[in-house]
Amino acid sequence: GDSRDHITAHLHLTTQGCVHNSDLDILPWPANTPDLNPVEHIWEDLDHRVGMLTNAFRHLV
């Protein structure tokens, strides 16, 4: 199996054996891919919305 991401579950010999003996195609993705993590998109949207509110309140002062 491909253990380049160093995630403990992926390094386990049982996991590596199952992947090696299967017909699964392992994608060569890096361990940390924020663009594939939906939570990162939520944080980005929240940051944008808070920034818009902050700018709106600055004009009221």
Q: Is the pLDDT of residue 2 over 70?
A: no
pLDDT per residue as tens digits for the range 3-61: 455 566 656 777 777 777 888 777 776 666 667 777 888 899 999 999 999 888 887 77
Residue 16, classified by CB atoms within 10 Å of its CB into exposed (0-12), middle (13-18) or buried (19+), is middle
Query: Helices marked H in 1-61 — which ranges?
Result: 8-11, 13-20, 38-58
d(CA 39, CA 10): 22
pTM of the model: 0.41
Report the pLDDT value the prediction gives residue 7, as an integer from 0 to 100: 62
